[in-house]
Structure 1
C-alpha cells in the first residue's frame, strides 16, 4: 500500500490525530486509517451504541449526535432483528448492554469459546483480549480456548481467567495480531464455516507499542477496491507497527467518518448502512 496523509482533513483535526489514505493499483485496493495518540488531553475514545428505537443508525448520525472527530463501525449485529441485537459484548461507560458470547452452535455441535474483544480503559489505553461473561462479570484469558472444526471445547475453565477491567468494550474478532506477531485465531474463535474469513470490505483496530491507536477501513466489492482476506488485513495492520489488532464488523458496515464526512464508499456509493455499535474519538471543547 502507498499511504499519504490527508492534509486538508488533518488541518481540521487536533494535534495528535492524523488520517491517511492508501492505494494499491495492482490488487486493486483502497483503504484509510486514523492514528490517535492515546495520551492526548481532553480526548476520549469510546464505544457507543445507537439510541434509536430500532437500535441502529448510520455512522454520520453517530458523528453528528456525538460531535465526534472520528467514528468507525464496531461489532457484529443481527441486521434483520427489530430491534437490532448485538452479537457479543457491548459495554459503554461500565454498563453492559449485551453480554459476551460463551458458546455458539455450528450445526448440532456447541462450541464453548473465548471470542476477542476490544476494550478501552479509563486512561484511553486500548486492550484486546479473548473474553467471556459469567454472572454479569467479564473475564479474559491469556490465550484463546482451543477449538477446531468438529472438535469442540465442551466448557470454559474460569480458573484460567482473570477479570477484565475496562470501561468500554465491544466483541468482534478474530484477533489479527498478538504480541507483535500475526496470529489470526479463526478456529479458536469458531469463525470457521462462516463468511468472516473470506474476502470482504474490512474494519480493524489495534495499537502500537508507543501508544498510538490505529483504526482502519478497507473498501471492497468494487472495481477499484476488491477487499481483503484476514491475512492481508493482518499484514496491513502489522505494517503500521500494531502490536495487537482485531478484526471488527466488515462488509457493508465498514465505514469511517471524520469531522462529519464519510471517507470511504462502504457499498460502492456514499450510502451508509445503519449499525448498532461504533468506536468514537471525542474531544471536549
Structure 2
C-alpha cells in the first residue's frame, strides 16, 4: 500500500535534518568561502588566498596572482563577491585618511577595503554614494589650455554603480544641475579632447541617449576600462591622461556577466615584487577575469587593499600608505 504524500514528505524532511547534524545532535559546520568553488571561473594563475579568508562566508573570496605580464613581475590581489550577499559600502572622509583607517573604523562585520576615486587635499574629485546618499560628486569642470587660454571642459567620467537589487553596471556620468544635481548616464562618452574646443556642458539631452542613473550605491573613477564586454579605454575623452602608459600600481572595480563584482589591486614600484601595469594591461587583466564592465580607480601611491585586517599589496610610496578621501568597504549585509 502506498504511503500518503504528506507522510513521505515528513519522513524525507526528518532524514535531511538528521543528515545535517553530528552524532551528538549538534549542527554540522556550514560551508565557507574557503571550501566553496570559485565565484567566477579564473585561470590557474589565480590562486585562492585562503590565508586571508578566515571565517569568510560564501559570497566573498580572495585570489592572488603573480604571473609575468609583458616581461614584468606582478603581484595582484582580487576580491570577488556577490553583491546580493555582501554589502559594498562607498565611504567618504572629511580629511585624507589611510585605507587601513577606513577599514578599522568600520564597526560592522567587514571583509575588505580598497581605495576609491581621485582626490585632492581633503577634497574628492570622484563620486561616492551609499544607499542613495551622495557624499561626493564626480568633478564637473576642468581647466585645460586651449588656444593659449585657460578653458573650462566638462567631462563625463566613469563610475561603477549597484542598483537596489544588487545588479552592477558602469556608465559615463555627469551631475546635471547645481549641488549634487541629478546624475545622468550616457551610452557614449562626451568627446572632449585636449587641444580641441570643449564640448557642451552635459545635460538631460547631451550627449545623446541620456537617462537618469538609477543606482543605489556608486563610486566614481576614471577612465572607463571595459563597457558592454569590450575594452574601451576613454582616458582622452575623460581628460585623465596621467601616466597611463607607465607601469605603476593600479586599482579597479568591475563586474562579470553573472553579476559578480571584482575589486582588483595591482602592486607597483616594488623591485622585489610587483612592478605595476599600464592602463591597457590593467584593462586586459580585468577582461581576462571575465569583466563585462570595469572602471579605473585612483592608482599609484593611492592603491591599497586591506583584507581581513591584513595589508596586501605593498604601497608604492616610500612613506607607506597614502591617505585618500574615498574608499570601498566590503561588509556583511546584516
How far residue 58 of structure 1 moved from its aligned partner, in angstroms, is 1.6
Counterpart-to-counterpart distance in 2, 1:11 and 1:133? 41
Query: With structure 1 as the length reference, what TM-score do the two structures score?
Result: 0.90
Partner residue, 1:204: 252
- C-alpha contact (below 8 Å) 1:70/1:259 kept by paired residues: yes
- C-alpha contact (below 8 Å) 1:130/1:144 kept by paired residues: yes
Partner residue, 1:125: 167
How far residue 23 of structure 1 moved from its aligned partner, in angstroms, is 0.5
- C-alpha contact (below 8 Å) 1:147/1:190 kept by paired residues: yes
Partner residue, 1:146: 191
Query: With structure 2 as the length reference, what TM-score do the two structures score?
Result: 0.77
Counterpart-to-counterpart distance in 2, 1:29 and 1:10? 21
Question: Higher strand proportion, which one?
Answer: 1
Partner residue, 2:22: none
Whichever of the two has the greater Rg, that structure is: 2
Q: What is the CA deviation profile of residues 122-175 of structure 1, one whole-angstrom value per residue up to 9, with x for unaligned ones?
A: 223222110111222111101111122212313324213111111222221101
- C-alpha contact (below 8 Å) 1:222/1:268 kept by paired residues: no
**Size of the alignment, in residue pairs?**
275
Partner residue, 2:182: 137
How far residue 202 of structure 1 moved from its aligned partner, in angstroms, is 0.4
Q: Give the secondary-structure state (helix, strand or coil) at the position aligned to 1:276.
A: strand
Which of 76, 83, 87 matches 1:44? 87
- C-alpha contact (below 8 Å) 1:191/1:197 kept by paired residues: no
The answer on 1:164 being equivalent to 2:203 is no
Counterpart-to-counterpart distance in 2, 1:196 and 1:119? 24
Could you tell me which runs of 5 or more consecutive residues in structure 2 were left unpaired when the two chains were aligned.
Answer: 1-42
Larger mean CA deviation between 169-178 and 94-103 belongs to 94-103
How far residue 90 of structure 1 moved from its aligned partner, in angstroms, is 2.4
Partner residue, 2:127: 89
- C-alpha contact (below 8 Å) 2:176/2:202 kept by paired residues: no
Counterpart-to-counterpart distance in 2, 1:141 and 1:102? 15
Q: Give the secondary-structure state (helix, strand or coil) at the position aligned to 2:66.
A: strand
Q: What is the CA deviation profile of residues 5-31 of structure 1, one whole-angstrom value per residue up to 9, with x for unaligned ones?
A: 112223421112110111135411111
Partner residue, 2:117: 75
- C-alpha contact (below 8 Å) 1:182/1:238 kept by paired residues: yes
Q: What is the CA deviation profile of residues 60-96 of structure 1, one whole-angstrom value per residue up to 9, with x for unaligned ones?
A: 2211221421111101110xx3xx0001322233222
How far residue 196 of structure 1 moved from its aligned partner, in angstroms, is 4.6
Partner residue, 1:232: 281
Larger mean CA deviation between 105-114 and 134-143 belongs to 105-114
Q: Give the secondary-structure state (helix, strand or coil) at the position aligned to 2:84.
A: coil
Q: Give the secondary-structure state (helix, strand or coil) at the position aligned to 2:277.
A: coil
Partner residue, 1:61: 101
Q: Give the secondary-structure state (helix, strand or coil) at the position aligned to 1:234.
A: helix
Could you tell me which runs of 5 or more consecutive residues in structure 1 were left unpaired when the two chains were aligned.
Answer: none
Counterpart-to-counterpart distance in 1, 2:192 and 2:246? 19
Larger mean CA deviation between 266-275 and 121-130 belongs to 266-275
Counterpart-to-counterpart distance in 1, 2:152 and 2:246? 23
Q: Give the secondary-structure state (helix, strand or coil) at the position aligned to 2:56.
A: coil
Looking at both structures, which has the greater relative contact order when contacts are Cα pairs under 8 Å and sequence separation is at least 6?
Answer: 1
